Structure 1
Amino acid sequence: MPAPTHPRPHTETLANGLRVTLRHGPGLKRSAAALRVAAGSHDVPLAWPGLAHFLEHLLFLGTERFPANEGLMAYVQGHGGQVNASTRERTTDFFFELPVRAFSGGLERLSDMLAQPRLNLDDQLREREVLHAEYVAWSQDPTAQKQFALYEGLPAEHPLRGFHAGNRDSLKVELPAFQQALKDFHQRFYRTGQMTLSLTGPQNVEQLLALAEQFAAALPTGDKIAQAAPVPLAVKSYQQVDGLHGNLLFAFDALPQSSAQALAFLCHWLNSAKPGGLLAYLQQHNLAEGLKALPLYHFDGQALLHLQFNAGAEALNVIHQQLLDWLSFFSQQDWAPLREEYAAVQQRQQQIGGALQLARLDSEHLQNGLPDCAVEALKNILCELGAVDNFSPHWSLPAANPFLRANEPLTNAGLIRGQTSAHRGLRTFAQDRSRGRRERSPMQFSQALPSTADEGAIYLRWQLDAAASVDLQARLQRSLQQIRRDASEAGVELLFSATGNQWLLKLTGLQEPMPSVLEHALKCLTSVSADSPRDEPEAPLIPIRQLLKALPESCLEPVGASDDAAHLWTTARWDGLALGFNPQSQSAMGLALSRIPGQPDHQLSAPCAINGRRLWQYIDTASSEHAVLLFCPSASQNVADEAVWRLLAQLLQTPFYQRLRVELQLGYAVFSALRQVHGRVALVFGVQSPNVKPDALLEHIQQFLNGLPALIEQLDDASLSQHRQSLADQFGAAELDFKEAAELLWQARLAGHSSDYLERSVATIAALDRSTLLSAAQRLLDAEGGWLCLASARAPAVPWQAVE
């Protein structure tokens, strides 16, 4: 866990007008940058909708100094980082995270692509097709269309009612007038006065400032200009029904300063499901099962607040009345305890936040909690929403989050309290000294990661006689809903997955609240009955995401399903892994561990391998778009095979994207990556296309893979060495953050590796050479580890074998 960062980052404006925020996080393993341009889709000339989004895409296509294969995206991917961009109504954001050693190179590429875009006509024509494919998918996505329809209650002339994504018809690349508008937009807004740069990392403020000044020196200088004010929203409120959901929308035209923080505070408490609140009342009276409140839009005093309920039209008027009653109650309360808890929640989020999360937070320029200046803004908002000074007596403020309060220190911290005869296999730190052997304990308290920080991770796995039915899975997830939210606010991420007959409960984050979170979670999971409430339906996923969601279960042998939770728990067998725990926190885990249902078992069976087979599974995505996901596991689970598969994944990522997305224009969702599923390391290739069918997509993937040996042969020694070193560094203690390390060690345990897996991986990666890579490439082409293809169409002919 990063050491606590300063609650307020350093801010200043450089001599050339660039505003910077600099946050020193002494415990961070990586550095991040978030660059915000004060210009977005609503700042584009009316004649060219989509131009701002189009420019964002074009900027990633390379410059004279850094062509696409050396540009920011390729550079970040090559160093195991993260990179993305987003165009909104009035802002455009570019952000990335990198190892500290590579950070200055990322900033250099970002400044160059912002200042010196090529805007090549051929690039534009190709990228327009990518945006058009996105547009086609967007226009056919029910969730996206419902979101767009939310603005129909606003005046037709307001830009929120307009189309801003861009497509083949709106982006008239061939016209001189469009080219002039594109250059004018870039020159007008992509200059220092319109930009804010947020840097976060373990570097001190002076070092971050030097990086910011170097970044700023390459940018065009210019003063900040005022963005044109939009026309008035003109309405106060309206409502809509879109099938399963009822929507209430509230528009504001002249909000005071700090209203963004006031709206965020209000939404936080509106979304609470605790007794006495709005949602609890609606659920109790069968008016609605779910509530989601968030601001859809905020600019220059204007805002649009959206409240979504999974309720029909007949209930919406009653819900609106109860909402106004709750708002009246809320407006008359003492907000001091709520402000204190809200600030504590935000402080916890910053404490567990990585560099990228913190940099993006800083780019918003919002103070923590609800500052005094935002209190008046909140009062103004509540007044405009219709709050009055009388209300029903049944409302109450939510109970305090139990996981935000520190636990009392425990005595005799070196022992595991609550241990029973069923838990004799639990290991203490002293018992885990021998790190070279395979662990035999059902719950291992591992020393593979240091226990000196505040961070911890718990993995609990159950193997059952049958899979949970769809209905039971929904009830299990619903049982954790409130615990998951309270835990998240307290700095613990809680995830539960039921994949076939393998169930996993995972906790990561601050270790101090974890014993209590685990105890509450186990109680909820084992209390599920046939009468437990069902979860509300999830929004449909795009096809490629449906395939990714189906992948873990597709890697397991099919088993029958059961709806009897009590029987499944009775016959369950479990094992687990705990990482990062200091002796006191380890001791506090005793009571929760004594309540784990099922029987401890340190020899749970591993999923069957698919070596040598080419399996094809059809997934009905209920979409007109096509998608393919090719899963290629390593031939074995030894560390050497895993290491070479990781290096192949790093070498393939950029060329695969360049070939299938940029050159062949197959679709906008194109990726290759390394995934670990049930302990098995695999290369994964994914493509979603609006017009190319799955068998043709797979052929393109295979053609690319056939060229893999040549790609390796063409790689010069220096480049190969750089890739190898970059990959090895990603496994080193200096760069690997706790959450990533914990996941790697859990997957290593599933694969049967010893607790020195990370060190062995670094040494193995460092020894990889060209001949080893070529041999691995051939084993990949021969499908020695097997190929599993998930697709939105039925299996083609031999050699593919259809599976259900």
Structure 2
Amino acid sequence: MNAPFPIPDDEAARRAGLPPGSRLHEARLANGLAIAAAEVPDARQQRLVGVVDVGYLDEPDDCRGLAHLLEHALFLGSTGFPRAGELAGWIGERGGRYNARTDETATDIHLHLSPGDADEGLARLVDMLARPRFDPDRIAHEVAVIDAEFHARLADPMLHRLAALGRLCREGHPARLCHAGHRDTLDDDMPRLVGRLTDFHRRHFHAGRMALVMLGPLPLEAQLDLLTRHGAALPPGDTPPPQRAWRWGPPGGVAWHTPAPRAGASSLELIWPLPEETAAHADWLAAVTARLADGRLAATLQAAIELDRLAVTLTPEGMGRALALRLAPAPDLESVQAMLSACRSAMEHALATPLPTPPAATADLDAWPRRHGVQLAAGHDLTRAAADTPVEPPRAWLAPGQCRLLWQSPATPHRWSTLVETGTAWRIQPPPSENAPLPWRAPPALNVRPLGPDTGDPAPRRPRHDERLSLWCGEPIRLADAPAASLCLGWPAPAAHQAARLAQWRRNLLPLRQAAASQGMRIHCAGDVRGDWLIATGTAERLDALVELAVACWPERASPRADDQPTGLLAQRLLTLLEASTLQVARADAMPVLGWLSGHGDSGATEAMMHRLAERLSAGPPEAAEPSPQEASDDTLQLPPQGGDHVAMLEVAGPDDSPRSRWLLRLLAQCHDAAFHHEMRQQRGLGYVAVVRYREASGFPRLGYVVQSPHTEPGALRQAIADFLTRQGEALARLTAAEMERRRRGLLAHAGRPETQAEAIAQLWQALRRQASLSPPPLPWQPLPWEAEAQALASLPAEALLSLASDLAAGRLVQRWWLHTPQ
């Protein structure tokens, strides 16, 4: 092992965007493998990621979907661990998580485990990457799974977006084709397909094209030892990296829509492709991107066309290296013209005056290892200062004439072409003619409010409490990445149309949220059965101004809009519904306005703001309550047709919202998930999505048992789920003392002490809201919620889990069925 450059470990971590106090070391082993170890002291889990520098653009054109199939095949058994689904079972027993992804130029597998399981987890990860077993029968089954996934995703706009994006690429380039894979694109001769799979793996899955990344609380030296020892088992190789040609055709535009366009769904993407050499200008590009997202463009467009979303990114999906803006809605050509004109002017402004000091991105500990691994596997040096960077930034690549346009357009009388494979409707869309620019709006101003001296007292205290408002101050915990101050505010809100109201609130907040982010501040708004709420963090002198403007943006009522509907697989949408479900959840309409100020803030200004909010709430007319499908009392809900698959989901509510109930349902999900997946998919062949997932709604725990199938009707799926719980539910919950202890350790790695200050604030705020909803509320600040949770888990006997499984199998728990039948 050799260190490629002598940058101190803490400085390398800072440059790579890790939290303060972290250490990072990179090296390349003798077999060519790139490794990176990141010690993050506050992390609970050990993240392990294996990345291969090969993706779907590298697969042969006559076997599209091969890279996707290989990703699936890696989980069907390896030389050291030959049973299909063995990794899922092993990780589930330890309370961990796993996933995999194949994108354009990279394939990765990522595991989340407790630190004590990192050694064996890394051994299993390396074995599946290096020595997969390609059993023909199992591969044939996975081809059927991929085929079912493809047909289900024909209802997902994201698949059609990628298909339309291909029309902007050069003839003959693989990016013009759909690479999701299905029966018609994969070889139908199974022995030959297995041979091609084996050859694709042999050519690309070797150490010279791979990276292993580990992030977690283990000491840096221990991580490097594990990575070096296990990484040496990966086969060396000298296959040169694929020559990836420039994908883009000449600048132009494409309009598209799905085969059955959803009313109101529209968006516009403006794309400036960038060559690989522009990676040396990452800081300058980040400054340009930050200027485009400083709130000025959002405020200008929102005033003219009621803009809902404006995202600016240097990592757009399906585009390689590019700077892209995504705006919605884009309902007609006049709106597109206004957007294009404003964005071009904003780009000129950003190139002339990029944001001098772009705000540091908040470290995402889940996403960081994969992003870092992708760059390392591709041979990019992430932490070395680029001494040979050219002085002149690549402005020419961001000129107006280099922009490509992708418009998700509503169906119109225009003549559309249709892509045979996906059914995507598309046509060439010339850029609209230039028109007079929109009058520019300044971004929302966050005025500075002078603060008094910091008392330095972090102990929680409640300076104000009555029937109208309750204000807490204090900072029970402060981690290394803590902002200067934070302010959380919550208030009772009508249950009717809450989803629409929150969507409208987020739309109203768009310019403010961007203006705040450009100054290193963050604001998050949400709602549940206890009301609506927000969390704001950042500079103490501007915090009151940010929250006051955010509260002013809150709408007391809003109407649902068609483009607010979720996308993705039906099973994923159903699981998302659990997070807002009202099953077994009592509303708390009588709660006062609740606030919590931490850090160096002005409690007097916060109290005055809360008074004004309380006056506004008392003066406004009550919103008429309308029952929603989730509030129905029926034990079966039939969803309106949203795709071509059948789906059944059993929702199970916990007995209450205590830590004990939350842990019991988490444990039961762990015990059931791998076995449920195996029985529904492998044994019964019912569907290609079969999972058990834990969710919470306002702190109330629930489970979702969901199966999505292209051919089996919901009634049969429902019966299969019920049969599983009756036959296996109790048996799988019979844990020995050793098994229970192992699962406890794994769960604490997920739900122990917070990893970031943002997580700590969110947990403390929700615990405070639960406390305030009690009648009468307890007076003192409650213990740190993760400490109370840990105590509850430590005292949980295995018999309690078995009793819960027995109650579920006997139908004694509150539950509800969600069913979907296609038209």
Aligned partner of 1:538 among 564, 574, 580: 564
Give the AA of the match of 1:776.
Answer: L
What is aligned with 2:815? 787
Q: What corresponds to 2:15 in structure 1?
A: 7
Does residue 378 of structure 1 match 2:394?
yes
Amino acid at match of 1:738: A
| Change beyond 3 A, Cα 1:201–1:572 | same
Per-residue CA distance 1:600-625 (angstroms, 9 max, x = gap): 99xxxxx9xx9xx9712233253222
Residues 259 and 378 in structure 1, CA contact (< 8 A), matched pair in contact too:
no
Task: List per-residue Cα deviations over 1:174-230 (Å, max 9, x = no partner).
Answer: 433322211111111101000122222233433222122022112111135120333
Equivalent residue letter for 1:597: A
1:258 correspondence with 2:279: yes
Query: Measured at CA, do residues 442 and 42 of structure 1 come closer, stay the same or move farther in structure 2, by a change above 3 Å?
Result: same
Asked if 1 retains the 8 angstrom alpha-carbon contact of 2:45 and 2:112, the reply is yes
CA 1:293 to 1:528, structure 2 compared with 1: closer, same or farther past 3 Å? closer
Q: Secondary structure at the match of 2:701?
A: strand
Q: 1:211 to 1:741 in 2, by over 3 A?
A: farther
C-alpha separation between the residues in 2 aligned to 1:287 and 1:495? 20
Map 1:444-483; keep pairs closer than 5 Å. Answer: 444=472, 454=482, 460-464=489-493, 467-468=496-497, 472-483=501-512
Aligned to 2:200: 185
- Assess, with a 3 A threshold, how the Cα gap between structure 1 residues 771 and 97 changes in structure 2: closer, same or farther: closer
**Residue from 155, 161, 164 that aligns with 1:140:** 155
SS in 2 for 1:17: coil
State whether residues 47 and 113 of structure 2, in contact with CA within 8 Å, keep that contact through their aligned partners in structure 1. Answer: yes
Cα deviations across residues 407-440 of structure 1 (Å, max 9, x unaligned)?
A: 867344549999986x4599xxxxxxxxxxxxxx
Match of 1:574?
592
Q: Tell me, yes or no, if the aligned pair for 2:505 and 2:554 is still in contact at 8 Å.
A: yes
Moved more, 112-121 or 627-636: 627-636
Aligned to 1:58: 73
Determine the C-alpha separation between the residues in 2 that align with 1:154 and 1:75: 43
Residue in 2 aligned with 1:433?
Answer: none
Q: 1:310 aligns with which of 303, 307, 329?
A: 329
**Structure 1 contact 38–91 (Cα < 8 Å) conserved:** yes
**Aligned position for 2:409:** none
For 1:572 and 1:559, the matched residues in 2 are separated by 12
What is the aligned partner in structure 2 of residue 410 from structure 1? 453
Separation in 2, partners of 1:415, 1:31:
31
Q: Tell me if the contact between 1:198 and 1:362 (Cα under 8 Å) persists in the aligned partners.
A: yes
Aligned to 1:565: none
Q: Deviations over 1:640-693 (max 9, x none)?
A: 444433322221222222222343343343321222223322222223322223
- Within the alignment, does 1:765 sit opposite 2:793 as a pair? yes
Q: Distance in 1 between matches of 2:603 and 2:700?
A: 29
Q: 1:484 aligns with which of 510, 513, 516?
A: 513
**What is the distance in 1 between the residues matched to 2:281 and 2:69?**
28
Percent pairwise identity: 22
Which structure 2 residues correspond to residues 641-656 of structure 1 after superposition, within 5 A? 641-656=661-676
Change (3 A) 1:784 1:488: farther
CA distance in 2, matches of 1:307, 1:600: 35
User: How far off its partner does 1:52 sit?
Assistant: 0.6
Distance 1:299 1:481 in 2: 25
| Residue pair 1:35, 1:363 contacting (<8 A) in 2 also | no
SS, match of residue 94 in structure 1: strand
Distance 1:380 1:204 in 2: 45
| 8 Å Cα contact 1:263/1:295 also seen in 2 | no
What TM-score, normalized to structure 1?
Answer: 0.78
CA separation of 1:595/1:220 partners in 2, compared to 1, >3 Å: closer, same or farther? Answer: farther
Do 2:164 and 2:256's aligned partners in 1 also have CA atoms closer than 8 Å?
A: no
In structure 2, distance between residues paired with 1:280 and 1:763: 48
What one-letter code is carried by the residue in structure 2 that aligns with 1:378? P
* Alignment CA distance shift 1:128-1:226 (3 Å): same
Aligned-partner Cα distance in 2 for 1:458–1:443: 10
Listed one character per residue, the Cα deviations across residues 555-600 of structure 1 (whole Å, up to 9, x for unaligned) are 169999xxxxxxx9xx974354759x45769898656555553699
Residue 582 of structure 2 corresponds to residue 555 of structure 1: yes
Q: Distance in 2 between matches of 1:330 and 1:701?
A: 55
Structure 2 CA distance for partners of 1:617 and 1:106, relative to 1, 3 Å: same
1:102 and 2:117 aligned? yes
Give the secondary structure class of the aligned counterpart of 1:218: coil
Q: Distance in 2 between matches of 1:447 and 1:254?
A: 47
**Alpha-carbon distance in structure 1 between the residues aligned to 2:383 and 2:436:** 32
Further displaced range: 405-414 or 219-228: 405-414
In structure 2, relative to structure 1, the CA distance for the partners of 1:700 and 1:22 (3 Å cut) is same
Q: Which amino acid aligns with 1:410?
A: P
Determine the structure 2 residue equivalent to 1:432: none
In structure 1, C-alpha distance between the alignment counterparts of 2:283 and 2:399, rounded to whole Å: 13
The question of 1:727 aligning with 2:747 is answered yes
1:11-160 → structure 2 map (5 Å cutoff): 11-67=26-82, 71-160=86-175
Give the root-mean-square deviation of aligned CA atoms: 4.8
Q: How far, CA to CA, are the matches of 2:814 and 2:238 in structure 1?
A: 59
Asked whether the equivalents of residues 442 and 576 of structure 1 are also in contact (C-alpha less than 8 Å), the reply is: yes
Q: Count residues in correspondence.
A: 741
CA distance in 1, matches of 2:141, 2:736: 30
Match of 1:694 in 2: 714
Distance change >3 Å, CA 25–CA 625, structure 1 → 2: same
Q: Is the 8 A contact 1:127 1:662 kept in 2?
A: no
Equivalent-residue separation in structure 1 for 2:32 and 2:76 (angstroms): 27
Distance apart, 1:157 and its partner CA: 1.4
One-letter code aligned to 2:747: L
Q: 1-side partners of 2:688 and 2:791: how far apart?
A: 37
Distance apart, 1:136 and its partner CA: 0.5
Q: For 1:72 and 1:491, how far apart are their aligned partners in 2?
A: 41
Instruction: Work out the CA distance in 1 between the residues paired with 2:799 and 2:130.
Output: 42
2:719 is the counterpart of 1:706: no
User: 1: CA distance between counterparts of 2:521 and 2:88?
Assistant: 31
Aligned partners of 2:279 and 2:253: how far apart in 1? 25
Amino acid in structure 1 at the alignment position of 2:582:
C
Alignment of structure 1 residues 200-279 onto 2, 5 Å: 200-223=215-238, 225-230=240-245, 233-240=248-255, 242=257, 244-245=265-266, 247=268, 250=271, 252=273, 256-258=277-279, 261=282, 265=286, 268-269=289-290, 271-272=292-293, 274-275=295-296, 277=297, 279=298
Q: State the Cα deviation string for residues 55-82 of structure 1 (Å, max 9, x = none).
A: 0111122324235577444344433333
- Paired with 1:281 and 1:583, the residues of 2 have a C-alpha distance of 33
Give unmatched runs, 5+ long, in structure 2: 1-9, 17-23, 404-433, 619-626
**1:148 positional shift:** 1.7
Q: Distance in 2 between matches of 1:620 and 1:264?
A: 44
Amino acid at match of 1:166: G
User: Within 1, Cα distance between the matches of 2:254 and 2:138?
Assistant: 43
- For residues 462 and 531 of structure 1, the distance between their equivalents in structure 2, rounded to whole angstroms, comes to 15
Taking the aligned partners of 1:248 and 1:465, their CA distance within structure 2 comes to 35
